[in-house]
Structure 1
Amino acid sequence: MQQTKPLAYFKKSDLFSRLRDAELEELAATAVPKAFPKGAFIIQKDAPGDDLYLIVSGNVKVTLYSEDGRELILAELREGDFFGEMSLLDGKPRSAMVIALEATEALVVRRRDFLAILNRNPAMAVKIIEALCQRLREADEKIESLAMLDVFGRVARVILQMAAKEGVRQGDLTVLTRRITHQEIASMAGTSRETVSRVLSRFQKRGHLSFSGRRLVLPPNFGSQL
């Protein structure tokens, strides 16, 4: 675990921003630090478990696999993000898998400790509801994308979502800060890696995007021009 004390991570997290210092200290004192190597299955779908994870460092994906082995990535989460909140609140089995995309460290909060503080702090309950609503909206958008958009639209939406989270502005352009694999885009867009390669090639030929090394570069009107 990094040298920074757990309390500092809870203070930086939007989820816990409405807690008083005494409650933050109580929560931090109960949190258990855990480290996961790249590729580790942190959470298995349908497995029992009711802990909440706050990411300290690293990168994870929340994902589902179909019976024929196709993957659908629901979200990618990084430092300051959290996961496990659904089972934490309702005590039911996990609804998706969480896999470490790189070496990842997290603070783990047990359900009984979390609920004890939640019962004394309705404002934090509001933050949890807001977080759940946001993730439900994202799930609705993904369902709409899979049902209503063609593959070009789905790939474009994935790229826009990545740019919103990981893009940096360079003049009028937006550059993704890390290299995104075609397979990663495919898993989020519900298609194949080969199809993503063809779509990106088409976008590039039409001037809708470009590459700097292996990083995607988007013009200011990407999306509206497709």
Structure 2
Amino acid sequence: MGTAGHLAQTSVLSFVERWPWYHALTPELRSLVIQTATERVADAGEYIARAGAPCADWYGLMQGFLQMYVIGTRGSETTLYCLREGEWGGEGSLLKGEPRRYDLRALTPVRLCTIPLKTFELLRNSSIEFNQFLCEIMNARMGIFVGMLEASRLLGPEMRVARTLMMLADGQASDAQEISISQHQLALMCGLSRQRVNMALNTLKQSGLVRCERRWGFVSVHAPRLRNYVTLPN
């Protein structure tokens, strides 16, 4: 059995019940969500969805990290977003009703709650609270996209690495957090070489923003300090 098989168990029901939009639904719609939602488990490196394929599901990440990325004509990868535990993704492609424009790959072992398109559409056509939730998460994601674009075009490698780490971390946390990610994976997300990422991490480490456990592939980030670092004028 792959690593994904050893992930801690959180039921689809308990995951869905976390969200206020679910409790705002009618009993019939709540029942439909539970009846049609399914669990999917994947190992690190496994594709969840491929670019060009029809969009069939909305994804809720119960555990792990997912990478949304595109591949250039020369084979280089550009990360669009990294979905972290407790987030939903894929709604943009469902709303546009077009083939997916990016690949979706598990960066770590993951567990997903998947809600099919038909249920997603019914919720969108029936619930104001559900639509408000979609607006909130898409607006938040757009802010991250803008920040990443700015970092890739205008800022140095330290800021690009810092912003990527903040995308993976809980931005509202008040203490240090441990993120399980290799420098190779971080380099893919930042669009930098592994050597440049290593140099950037060393600089951030000297500033007390991160701590690296290279033997085990962990990066520990001090969320409040890192948040201040990426939001202060440069």
- Note whether the superposition's TM-score is higher than 0.5: yes
**One-letter code aligned to 1:109:** I
Conserved 8 A contact 1:60-1:98: yes
Aligned CA RMSD, in angstroms, stands at: 3.0
* Structure showing greater Rg: 1
Rounded to whole Å, the distance in 1 between the matches of 2:128 and 2:48 is 29
Rounded to whole Å, the distance in 1 between the matches of 2:169 and 2:60 is 23
CA displacement 1:119-155 (0-9 Å, x = unmatched): 1212211211221122122111111111121223222
Deviation of 1:8 (Å): 2.4
Rounded to whole Å, the distance in 2 between the matches of 1:179 and 1:56 is 16
Using the size of structure 2 for normalisation, the TM-score is 0.78
Rate the CA distance shift 1:178–1:27 in 2: closer, same or farther, 3 A.
same
Unpaired segments ≥5 residues, structure 1 = none
Rounded to whole Å, the distance in 2 between the matches of 1:161 and 1:117 is 28
- Of 104-113 and 9-18, the range deviating more from structure 2: 9-18
Aligned residues: 220
**One-letter code aligned to 1:11:** E
Rate the CA distance shift 1:203–1:114 in 2: closer, same or farther, 3 A.
closer
Using the size of structure 1 for normalisation, the TM-score is 0.80
Q: How does 1:1-226 map to 2 (within 5 A)?
A: 5-13=11-19, 16=22, 18-165=24-171, 169=175, 174=176, 176-204=177-205, 206-209=206-209, 211=211, 213-214=213-214, 215-216=219-220, 218=222, 221-222=225-226, 223=229
Q: Percent identity?
A: 24
Unpaired segments ≥5 residues, structure 2 = none
CA displacement 1:55-101 (0-9 Å, x = unmatched): 23333222222222222223322333222212222211112111112
Rounded to whole Å, the distance in 1 between the matches of 2:203 and 2:10 is 46
Rate the CA distance shift 1:179–1:166 in 2: closer, same or farther, 3 A.
farther
Deviation of 1:30 (Å): 1.6
Rounded to whole Å, the distance in 1 between the matches of 2:110 and 2:224 is 33
4+ runs deviating over 6 angstroms: none
